[in-house]
Structure 1
Amino acid sequence: MNYWENANHAWTKDSKRVINTPSNKTKSLFNYIQEIGHFKAYQPYYTERANLPSYLMKLTLSGTGHLNYKGQDYILDQGDIFFIDCQHYQHYKTISDIPWEMDWIHVYGGITSQLYEEYNKDGNPVFHTNALPEENTIHHLVQTLIKDQSKANARTDFHSSVKIHELLNELIIQKYHLDFSIDDIPQYILELKEYLDSHFHNVITLNDLEHLFHLNKYQINKDFSKYIGLPPIDYLITKKVSHAKDLLRYTDLSIQEISLNIGIDNFAYFSRLFKNKTGMTPSFFRKEG
């Protein structure tokens, strides 16, 4: 379908807007900026569009905005952030008496779409951050990117791509509360990880972990996923496959012996599991290594 847009550009004179026309090389290599800016937009500012190949992030700094996206309405106050796929219909506008002040950026290319999918895995385009604008990494990254565009040189696209990647990562980190320190990880999660690291040769189930750590298995699954990055059984499988790769490459053990070594007595299942995780069979991995 064709791109279309309606808009009212009611923003203050001190608002900033930079439009980029990336080279073919930039589009093939990098995450890149299409447009970026810092707006103070007063009523009746709005934008309504669809079918734009772009991903848009807005961080509300003050005032209030309204977003309609995928049939849902969202009120955007200070600290609210949205990140959307502009192929879908969207309508956003100022609804406060004071200007809606925001950082915003349209990005595309690289692995932007994959990071957007990770951001959007809960289906919610909006989240709230309690950090004040001057303390928020997202705000600082947008401001840095704006400044970089005004002093563009042969290195700018390289640096901007890295900053965009950092920005998109930060959206995911803040949305899913992954901005914790090592000291925030519960002690039992560290002990559980150490247990799995030491016993990956064994057959271990969530019921086993529930019995060993005297906690509900669903809570264990949730906490381990939050702090380690994947559920405990997935982590265990990853450890098994990684050890199998080491044995395939650096020993003469048969594939059956390796399967038994990592606690899998069904050789066909081991081969399917290994291929699912690596994209190749154990025998092909050994041959290529």
Structure 2
Amino acid sequence: MSTFAKRWNRSVLSLHSSYTDAFYQPNLNTRISSRKISSQNISLEDFLKESYIPSPSTHAIESLYYLEILAKTTRNFPFTIEMKDLDSFLLLYTKKGRYRLTYDNKQYVIGDNSFIFLDCSNYLKLDLLEQNWDFEILFLNGQQINYYYQLFLENGIPYCNCIPSDDSITTLHKLFSYEENNSITVELIRSSLLTSLLTNIILTKHVDCNQSSYVPNHIKQMMTILQTRYTEKHTLDSLSEELNYNKYKLAKDFKRYVHKSPIDYLIDRRMEVAKQLLLTTNKTVNEIAESIGIANTPHFIHLFKNHTTLTPLQYREKKSHYEDLI
């Protein structure tokens, strides 16, 4: 077992998973075949039993940024990992999915197209909130990496949002092209890519923070329409006509400033209203679906379950049971 795997084993407090995955490790030319593990507490030895994790050269440890593990993974609900005291840094890009991060005594709900950058010597916990979670994960290290981490964490928030065409994602994907032997050339290339990746996510986050106080008027108007008129049918064409704005630019700007698409924003709003109606009224699921603008009840149930991992009735029963206990 590699040095990193031993350190990771000592650091993982719990790992509860129902998943299929395909691991990529540096220096491994073939992709590990997908496998399924039923929902259970599993050891890290089981989790990594088919994996190959390289040992970086002394040169890389002393002078470069280096990978300790690199993987593309899909998780299915339920999935939880809890760990601390690992001398490594975690960089995780979520392509699609929603999960809860517990870190530094705070909790964050994080979704599509986002990066988290964490110091794994601190306690951290990741809990999947939806049915599927597609993400790419790196454990990385290096003599000066804490400097980048401190820059990233400058505002106290350990994550940032991005768009699929962002340079950060392009750079991340390039890392998967270098799964060769640990030659000095490959280690230098990886270190250069990691430097670019860390720089890009820091710049993305700083730009995002600087723009957060400024939202264009047409986006504010669109947010108001979707927030207050969520029972209506909205399309990009209808919104474009109402706001007198190019629909492609409208969609792009909305994603840039709100960090989700207009349809996802509308669905989130409808689901929040649905949750309130489930808890405060005796309306049937059909009635609630109609009252939030969704005529197809099975579609509403599907959306609700994707949003909460529960059906509407399960959500109502679970919340009612919890309130009875307190």
- TM-score, normalized by length of structure 1? 0.56
Contact (CA 8 Å) 1:173, 1:179: kept in 2 or not?
no
The one-letter amino acid of 1:122's match is: N
Separation of aligned partners in 1, 2:93 and 2:99:
10
1:111 and 2:144 aligned? yes
- Tell me the residue number matched to 2:200: 170
Separation of aligned partners in 2, 1:144 and 1:154:
17
1:24 and 2:58 aligned? yes
Q: Looking at CA atoms only, which structure, 1 or 2, has the larger radius of gyration?
A: 1
Separation of aligned partners in 1, 2:193 and 2:15:
29
Displacement of 1:171: 1.1
Separation of aligned partners in 2, 1:9 and 1:20:
25
Displacement of 1:150: 4.2
Separation of aligned partners in 1, 2:166 and 2:75:
21
- Helix, strand or coil at the partner of 1:149: coil
Displacement of 1:178: 7.9
Identify unmatched segments of 5+ residues in structure 2: 1-6, 26-52, 211-326
1:8 and 2:4 aligned? no
Contact (CA 8 Å) 1:10, 1:43: kept in 2 or not?
yes
Contact (CA 8 Å) 2:180, 2:186: kept in 1 or not?
no
Contact (CA 8 Å) 2:104, 2:123: kept in 1 or not?
yes
- Tell me the residue number matched to 2:229: none
Separation of aligned partners in 2, 1:83 and 1:136:
17
The one-letter amino acid of 1:25's match is: H
- Helix, strand or coil at the partner of 2:112: coil
Identify unmatched segments of 5+ residues in structure 1: 181-289
Separation of aligned partners in 2, 1:27 and 1:150:
18
- Tell me the residue number matched to 1:72: 106
Separation of aligned partners in 2, 1:179 and 1:88:
24
Separation of aligned partners in 2, 1:179 and 1:161:
27
- Tell me the residue number matched to 1:44: 78
- Tell me the residue number matched to 1:139: 169
- Helix, strand or coil at the partner of 2:87: coil
Contact (CA 8 Å) 1:57, 1:83: kept in 2 or not?
yes
Separation of aligned partners in 2, 1:145 and 1:11:
24
The one-letter amino acid of 2:24's match is: R
Separation of aligned partners in 1, 2:204 and 2:169:
12
Displacement of 1:11: 3.4
Displacement of 1:71: 1.3
Number of residue-to-residue matches in the alignment: 174
- Tell me the residue number matched to 1:274: none
- Tell me the residue number matched to 1:237: none
Spell out the pairing of 1:59-208 with structure 2 (5 A cutoff): 59-97=93-131, 99-129=132-162, 131-132=163-164, 135-150=165-180, 153-177=183-207
- Helix, strand or coil at the partner of 2:195: helix
Q: Could you list the per-position Cα deviations for residues 1-57 of structure 1 after superposition, in whole angstroms to 9, with x for gaps in the alignment?
A: x952121354324x3331332122210111100111111111222211001011111
Separation of aligned partners in 2, 1:93 and 1:26:
33
Separation of aligned partners in 2, 1:82 and 1:46:
16
- Helix, strand or coil at the partner of 1:121: coil
- Tell me the residue number matched to 1:33: 67
Separation of aligned partners in 2, 1:159 and 1:150:
11
Contact (CA 8 Å) 1:84, 1:125: kept in 2 or not?
yes
Separation of aligned partners in 1, 2:54 and 2:171:
17
Identical positions, percent: 17
Q: Could you list the per-position Cα deviations for residues 158-180 of structure 1 after superposition, in whole angstroms to 9, with x for gaps in the alignment?
A: 11011101111011110001899
Displacement of 1:152: 5.1
Displacement of 1:154: 3.8
